[in-house]
Structure 1
Amino acid sequence: MSVLVVGSANTDILVRARRAPQPGETVLGGDAQVLPGGKGANQAVAAARAGAEVAFCGALGRDTFAPVVRQALTEAGIDLRYLRELDVPSGVALITISEDGENSITVASGANARLSADDLPERWDGVTHLLMQQEIPEATVLAAAQRTKAAGIKVLLNAAPARPLPAELWPLLDVLIVNEHELAQLSGAPEGQEEGAARSLLGRGLGRVIVTLGGRGSLAVDGEQVWRQPAHPVQVIDTTGAGDTFCGVLTAWLAGGAELAEALRAASVAGALACTRLGAQAAMPTHSEIEAALTGSAID
């Protein structure tokens, strides 16, 4: 394997409605769908579909939701030797998707909140890139970064959902991936000043910052260069899995030896393609679909 994803695994309960409800309001929606999700599992599936060899380290409960996630990961060809089963509820996400494709999400973390450093692999043979998110405990993220960095493995963190990062984590990160809102929370800079805000984070010791900007595309910043990737034009149906698709495909391309500009382009195109279908994992494109759509994309 080349990519190890350490992160969350949820079952998504998804409902389409005209709009998300306001506080105290009930909004009638369509039929509910029960789908595999969780940022960690989503990103693992995205990387696997993009052609990477992927292993997943996460936690499920022993309940009726767990088989939904396990089956999806198995069908994606992901190595599940590090998937733990705990005597607690599995993670569940409640998702409302509005007519314009935007989503609102409430997550019950369940087993994800109990994934500990003791659940991490003891050996890292064959792993070249570690990808993590923040739907698991901070201590687990830090322990994984420390152990893999010491083994010479590239460490990527999608800092979502946003929370302050411990000082000792910053210099362990080769790549930090955030959206514009997470960037503003981590940097303290106003939204709309992404390049300056990203540069300010580099001073904390990490290697590169990549910012996803929705319809404005994405950008990457390191100490010497800025890359800007325009958005790939699509008809948006559902944005639920777009960010996770971006992270998984970016990591898969980097693990395959691609330069950052090439990986950024592939991730941006893949994230856009994921918006054209309903759901998270079900919407993620294959390697061949990404390659076909890359024609005509550009980077500055």
Structure 2
Amino acid sequence: MVKVIGLGDNVVDKYEHIRTMYPGGNALNFAAYAKKIGINSAFLGAFGSDAEADHVQNTIHELGLDISKCRHFNGENGCARVTLEDGDRVFLGSNEGGVLRENGLNLTQDDLEYIKTFDLLHAGLYGYTEPELDKIRALSIPISFDFSDDFTIEEVERIAPKVDFSFFSCSHLKTDEMLNLVMKAHKLGSEIVVVTMGEKGALLYDGTKFYSQEPELVEAVDTMGAGDSLITAFLINYISKIKENELDRENIIKESLNEGAIFSAKTCLVEGSFGYGKKY
């Protein structure tokens, strides 16, 4: 069985309209969703010293994630302010990662030896991981990176050559802009490029052909984490199955995209990224 690690951000998403905070963050969501799917997973990031950090860590202990290599600093944990509009999450602001932004990860040789034991590492634009990618690349384990929706072309040009899987949220782009982005990321070096388009589903390019995936439509309670859960389920299915049968790549991609869509729909029926709300 594969095991995976999320590197970078954890936050509390503070839902201002109900005064409730939920654990989240791209890297932590990935690790939590992988655990929910039944995969051995870990998270490596930084925690603050406030009540928000305590809530995230208490939740992680309940989930059973390995956080043995995480950093702890005095100061604010990552925090975002959120509200909901007809089930769609709307971000109102954040402290931009709190102590993670202020201190960085600064991976040591011991950290790298630990990371080398995993089958896949996932990071993202908000995790302040870019300075660490060259070190991780040298370990020869697959790297997945989520560029989210507010990436710059300069960031794509710097990061895409260093990662195996590139993910983008592209609901805001025109079709030709999106296709140009996909082709560019692949040409730069990413083996597989996936763009999510909200209610229009997802599109994947592997250098040979395009694959489209329709969304599983549900009456969403909360869309927080929908993209992260699609990414996680796709990656878990893909890396697990491609190890067993590299020759069936086309069918594995199709099956993995479908699993991603199904898992993403289930996430939309949960409050917050994966529940565990606490009043504040």
Same fold? TM cut 0.5: yes
Q: Secondary structure at the match of 1:79?
A: coil
TM, length-normalised to structure 1: 0.79
Contact 2:75 2:99 in 1 (8 A): yes
Map 1:70-219 to 2 at 5 A: 70-108=57-95, 109-113=97-101, 114-118=103-107, 121-123=111-113, 124-137=115-128, 140-143=129-132, 145-160=133-148, 162-164=150-152, 165=155, 167-181=157-171, 184=173, 190-191=174-175, 193-219=177-203
Q: Secondary structure at the match of 1:87?
A: coil
User: Relative to structure 1, is the Cα distance of residues 127 and 73 closer, same or farther in structure 2, using a 3 angstrom cutoff?
Assistant: same
Pairing 1:282–2:266 present: no
Contact 2:14 2:81 in 1 (8 A): yes
Task: Tell me the distance in 1 between the aligned counterparts of 2:35 and 2:256.
Answer: 15
Task: Tell me the distance in 2 between the aligned counterparts of 1:93 and 1:125.
Answer: 31
In structure 1, which of residues 218, 240, 243 is the aligned counterpart of residue 227 of structure 2? 243
Q: Point out the more displaced range, 196-205 or 235-244.
A: 196-205
1:254 corresponds in structure 2 to 238
Task: Tell me the distance in 2 between the aligned counterparts of 1:279 and 1:167.
Answer: 32
Larger helix proportion, structure 1 or 2? Answer: 2
Q: After TM superposition, give the deviation of residue 106 of structure 1 in Å.
A: 1.6
Percent same amino acid among aligned pairs?
21
| Structure 2 gaps, min length 5 | 243-251
1:228 corresponds in structure 2 to 212
- AA aligned to 1:133 is G
Contact 1:103 1:239 in 2 (8 A): no
State the number of aligned residues. 260
Task: Tell me the distance in 2 between the aligned counterparts of 1:192 and 1:216.
Answer: 15
Task: Tell me the distance in 1 between the aligned counterparts of 2:239 and 2:39.
Answer: 7
1:287 corresponds in structure 2 to none
**CA-atom RMSD in angstroms:** 2.2
Task: Tell me the distance in 1 between the aligned counterparts of 2:87 and 2:21.
Answer: 21
- AA aligned to 1:229 is Q
Contact 1:241 1:279 in 2 (8 A): yes
